[in-house]
């Protein structure tokens, strides 16, 4: 059930409450309050949820940072909340993290090799970030914990330093990586070997994303692919019309590909891969990546892929109207 946003106040303040002895919930409405909550969450040894009120948040120098040294506590960050953080609209367009073409967006790390701390980011528009201090515009790296980006729009970001990606998502000690129900569009990584890098010593699941109109690799000595992945699978994605002369997936571990629309795979795949197509997905327009009537991606996904599907699409609408669609947006009307 989608909970609709009732109001957005003009004045934002930080509110914290200890819901249990082991959990803290923050309600934030300014960039300073957001970073302050991240600083507390990095050191309070509790499970933390940061509810971010709908609006635009200009990132500070270095981007919003979360550097977690020790412990198994979880961090969940969600956009789309109202003034009192009592109601949420699960629509990524309402909460913008804006780098202003000057700063990175998210710089999140857990450093303790024994830590099982998860990091989950969902319902944001991650916009106009750049490489800063040698880091990618969006970096989330954990040790034993899971790293997740879900239901986000990632657009108009620039990786201007060689060998940095737009998105770097990893778990290095045994946690899983999840990249689910996101749109990645109109980003540029001209000096990089890839646009996105996903790595996990356990498994990475890349499901129901729309990845299109991105440029990468045009000045690199060599290029791996639009997406470089280790120990990962792809299901229900549309990966279409990116830099045309380079592959869109590259991996040394033969990923399993199920029911994707990809125009240039470029890597050996698991022999169990099936249901993949190479057809124009028929977006509504060059700037609107919803599916038009007659799209071959409509009702063409797998409803129970490895790594799961979420119950809502990027707009906050039901994910499975009939059979799950490929891509981040579920067509709510008939396919034809």
pTM of the shown model: 0.92
CB 266 within 8 A of CB 228: no
Mean pLDDT by runs of 10 across the 336 residues of the chain is: 34 38 88 98 94 98 93 93 97 97 96 86 98 91 94 94 88 92 93 85 95 78 73 96 84 93 92 97 96 97 94 95 96 93
Model pLDDT, residue 224: 65
CA distances (Å), origin 32, targets 52, 64, 101, 246: 12, 10, 19, 41
Model pLDDT, residue 223: 58
Model pLDDT, residue 2: 39
Model pLDDT, residue 13: 35
Q: Which residues pair with 149 in a beta bridge?
A: 121, 179
């Amino acid at each position: 059930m989608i909970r609709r946003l009732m109001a957005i106040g003009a004045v934002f303040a930080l509110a914290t409450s200890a819901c249990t002895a082991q959990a803290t919930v923050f309600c934030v409405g300014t960039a300073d309050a957001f970073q302050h909550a991240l600083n507390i969450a990095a050191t309070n040894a509790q499970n933390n949820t940061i509810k971010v009120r709908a609006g635009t948040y200009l990132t500070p120098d270095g981007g919003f940072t979360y550097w977690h040294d020790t412990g198994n506590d979880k961090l969940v960050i969600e956009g789309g909340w109202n003034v009192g953080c009592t109601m949420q609209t699960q629509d990524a367009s309402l909460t913008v993290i804006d780098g202003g073409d000057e700063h990175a967006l998210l710089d999140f790390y857990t450093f303790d090799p024994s830590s099982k701390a998860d990091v989950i980011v969902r319902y944001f528009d991650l916009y106009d970030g750049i490489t800063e201090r040698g880091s990618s515009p969006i970096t989330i790296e954990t040790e034993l914990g899971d790293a997740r980006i879900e239901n986000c729009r990632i657009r108009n970001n620039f990786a201007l330093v060689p060998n940095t990606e737009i998105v770097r998502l990893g778990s290095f000690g045994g946690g899983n990586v999840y990249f689910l129900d996101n749109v990645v569009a109109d980003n540029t990584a001209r000096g990089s070997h890839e646009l996105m890098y996903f790595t996990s010593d356990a498994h990475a699941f890349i499901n129901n994303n729309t990845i299109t109109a991105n440029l990468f690799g045009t000045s690199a000595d060599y290029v791996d692919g639009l997406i470089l992945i280790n120990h990962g699978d792809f299901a229900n994605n549309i990966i279409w019309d990116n830099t045309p002369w380079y592959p869109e997936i590259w991996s040394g571990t033969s990923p399993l590909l199920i029911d994707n629309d990809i125009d240039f795979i470029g890597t050996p795949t698991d022999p169990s891969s099936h249901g993949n197509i190479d057809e124009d997905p028929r977006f509504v327009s060059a700037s609107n990546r919803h599916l038009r009537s007659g799209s071959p991606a409509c009702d063409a996904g797998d409803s129970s892929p490895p790594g799961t599907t979420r119950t809502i699409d990027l707009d906050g609408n039901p994910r499975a109207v009939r059979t799950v669609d490929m891509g981040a947006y579920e067509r709510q009307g008939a396919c034809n």
